[in-house]
């Protein structure tokens, strides 16, 4: 009997040890898979930079193509460094006040998951900065632009982000406490970028000749619409990582999130198309691409919390909003080269509202909708006012606007001494400064 008891005890102990080891192994495997997903999603979001670069340079004139590409390229470089130094800490660090993160600066000697999250979030910061470059293209001094990029990725974006997402370690952002929903950043990333761009184009003023002395608004078409379409499609692909990766874990919700993302992009383009037809505008590829981007921006806030049919509605309305708001900005004589304010600012605001309206299990809840309104308004006030002051200060100190001579020559020559399309220029025209 004693022997049997001893044997049973031994088997029980073995089972316990095996179960414990198995649980540990499962957790480790889950963490590994999560890491793979986060890193892959980060790579997809990084690829969005190519999309932005192609889209923005394609919508600019040939003489400014290099300048646009340089801005996009350095947005990633400068934005990543600044975000590592200060941005990540401000956004995700211990946030006991609900207003600002206070730890995790210069992230070093931390856990593997911290590094994965930093990588993923760095790509988000770079995206917020890049949104601005397209709107301010063709007339902004390169160095002044970079100073702005540092401030956006180091201060404007992370501080607002901490109000919504600042609950990763300790504490919680005050907007998150209110119940504000922004899953992947319709407002935190896109509207913030859009409102900063709005401040930038107001301080800069329109491009030379964009508005005639009699007030007529002139179209200045981009030099390569093939790049625009390709850039739009690359952004679309990258968005699967942007929204899908925001789960920060490899779970089964990713399928719905990416499906919603795709449907919203498709319906955004259709919405833009319908709006162009209804307003008897020509069916432009630039507007169509912007419509789908508007759909993507719009669904970013609620992609994890709404059913596909509502994702489609959100995207469709976002497409319409993109066309209408672009027209409105034009009537206000604001020169947004790529339509970034319409796509990221206005469609982002709508998407954030839609996330509250179509919230699964709590649709049309007035309190939730009001909370969304507050978040949208706060984002506008914060981003627009800080960016406006920032660009005004830059303008008064180092000068934000390129000279008319530089605009005439094209910023490729005047800022970089390079030419994007040398076969069209049989001799080097620029003599330097």
Partner 1 sequence: MQHFEDLSHKKRAIYIALLNYLNPKQAGQATDIWIKEYSNKSAFELQSYITRITRELSVKINRKDIQQSIIKMLLNDSPDSNDKKDEHEYLAKETPATEAQLPHIVFSSFMMQWLSEVEKINADLSLSIKRYISNNLIKLELNFDDMIKIKTWLNTKGNNLYIKDLTIEQMEKIFHFCYVGSCEYIGPVKTDKIVSEVAKIVGQMPDAINFSPKKFF
Question: Does 220 interact with partner 1 (rule: CB under 8 A)?
Answer: yes
Shortest distance (Å) from residue 421 CB to partner 1: 13
Options 218, 333, 360, 396; binder of partner 1; rule CB under 8 A: 218
Shortest distance (Å) from residue 211 CB to partner 1: 9
Integer angstrom CA distances of residue 397 from 82, 149, 298:
22, 16, 36
Shortest distance (Å) from residue 399 CB to partner 1: 18
In the chain, how many H helices and how many E strands?
Answer: 17, 0
Name the token pair of 427. 């001799």
Which residue, 138 or 182, has its beta carbon nearer to partner 1? 138
CB 298 within 8 A of CB 348: yes
* Best CA proximity match to 133, nearest among 210, 223, 66: 66
* Best CA proximity match to 196, nearest among 151, 228, 163, 140: 151
Please give the Cα distance from 421 to 258 (Å, whole number). Answer: 38
* Best CA proximity match to 119, nearest among 43, 52, 66, 181: 43
Which residue, 202 or 220, has its beta carbon nearer to partner 1? 220
Per CB under 8 A, the segment of 205-213, 231-239, 250-258, 311-319 that binds partner 1 is 205-213
Which residue, 109 or 427, has its beta carbon nearer to partner 1? 427
Which residue, 61 or 104, has its beta carbon nearer to partner 1? 61
Per CB under 8 A, the segment of 187-195, 216-224, 238-246, 314-322 that binds partner 1 is 216-224
Which residue, 213 or 361, has its beta carbon nearer to partner 1? 213
Per CB under 8 A, the segment of 41-49, 145-153, 175-183, 402-410 that binds partner 1 is 402-410
Shortest distance (Å) from residue 206 CB to partner 1: 10
- Partners of 315 in the beta sheet? none
Report the site for partner 1 in 404-423 (rule: CB under 8 A).
404-405, 408-409
DSSP labels, 184-236: S-IIIIIIHHHHHHHHHHHHH-PPTTSB-TT-PBPP---S-HHHHHHHHHHHH
Question: Does 427 interact with partner 1 (rule: CB under 8 A)?
Answer: yes
Q: String of b and e for 340-373 (b: at least 16 CB within 10 Å)?
A: bbbbbbbbbbbbbbbbbbbbeeeeeeeebbebbe
Report the site for partner 1 in 52-91 (rule: CB under 8 A).
61
Residue 175: how many other CB atoms lie within 10 Å:
24
Per CB under 8 A, the segment of 214-222, 260-268, 326-334, 337-345 that binds partner 1 is 214-222
What is the total count of residues that contact partner 1 (CB under 8 A)? 18
Which residue, 236 or 413, has its beta carbon nearer to partner 1? 413
Q: String of b and e for 59-68 (b: at least 16 CB within 10 Å)?
A: bbbbbbbbbb
Per CB under 8 A, the segment of 80-88, 126-134, 206-214, 225-233 that binds partner 1 is 206-214
Which residue, 209 or 255, has its beta carbon nearer to partner 1? 209
Question: Does 212 interact with partner 1 (rule: CB under 8 A)?
Answer: yes
Options 8, 15, 209, 251; binder of partner 1; rule CB under 8 A: 209
The overall longest dimension of the chain from CA atoms, in Å, is 106
Q: How many CA atoms lie within 13 A of 117 on its CB side?
A: 21
Shortest distance (Å) from residue 207 CB to partner 1: 7
Which residue, 2 or 431, has its beta carbon nearer to partner 1? 431
- Binding residues (CB under 8 A) for partner 1: these are 61, 207-210, 212-213, 218-221, 404-405, 408-409, 427, 429, 431
């Amino acid at each position: 009997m004693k022997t049997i008891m001893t044997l049973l005890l031994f088997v029980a102990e073995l089972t316990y040890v095996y179960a414990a080891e198995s649980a540990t192994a499962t957790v480790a495997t889950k963490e590994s898979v999560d890491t793979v997903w986060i890193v892959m999603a980060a790579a997809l979001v990084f690829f969005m930079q190519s999309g932005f670069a192609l889209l923005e340079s394609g919508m600019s004139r040939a003489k400014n193509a290099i300048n646009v590409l340089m801005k996009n390229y350095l947005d990633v470089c400068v934005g990543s460094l600044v975000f590592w130094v200060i941005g990540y800490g401000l956004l995700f660090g211990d946030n006991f006040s609900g207003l600002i993160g206070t730890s995790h600066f210069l992230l070093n000697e931390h856990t593997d998951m911290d590094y994965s999250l930093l990588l993923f979030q760095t790509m988000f910061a770079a995206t917020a900065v890049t949104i601005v470059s397209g709107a301010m293209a063709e007339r902004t001094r390169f160095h002044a632009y970079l100073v702005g990029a540092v401030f956006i990725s180091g201060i404007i974006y992370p501080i607002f982000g901490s109000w919504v997402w600042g609950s990763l370690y300790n504490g919680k952002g005050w907007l998150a406490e209110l119940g504000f929903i922004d899953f992947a950043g319709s407002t935190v990333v896109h509207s913030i970028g859009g409102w900063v761009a709005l401040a930038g184009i107001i301080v800069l003023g329109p491009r030379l000749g964009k508005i005639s002395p009699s007030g007529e608004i002139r179209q200045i078409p981009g030099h390569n619409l093939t790049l625009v379409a390709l850039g739009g499609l690359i952004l679309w692909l990258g968005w699967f990582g942007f929204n899908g990766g925001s789960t920060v874990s490899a779970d089964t919700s990713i399928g719905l999130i990416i499906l919603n993302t795709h449907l919203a992009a498709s319906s955004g383009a259709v919405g833009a198309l319908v709006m162009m037809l209804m307003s008897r505008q020509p069916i432009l590829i630039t507007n169509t691409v912007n419509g789908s981007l508007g759909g993507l921006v719009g669904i970013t806030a609620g992609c994890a919390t709404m059913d596909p049919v509502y994702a489609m509605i959100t995207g469709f309305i976002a497409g319409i909003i993109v066309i209408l708001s672009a027209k409105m900005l034009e009537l206000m004589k604001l020169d947004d080269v790529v339509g970034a304010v319409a796509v990221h600012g206005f469609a982002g605001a709508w998407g954030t509202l839609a996330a509250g309206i179509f919230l699964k299990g709590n649709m049309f809840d007035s309190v939730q909708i009001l909370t969304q309104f507050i978040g949208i308004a706060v984002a506008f006030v914060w981003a627009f006012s800080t960016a406006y002051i920032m660009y005004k200060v830059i303008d008064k100190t180092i000068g934000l606007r390129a000279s008319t001579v530089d605009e005439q020559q094209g910023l490729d020559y005047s800022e970089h001494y390079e030419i994007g399309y040398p076969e069209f220029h049989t001799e080097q025209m620029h003599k330097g400064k």
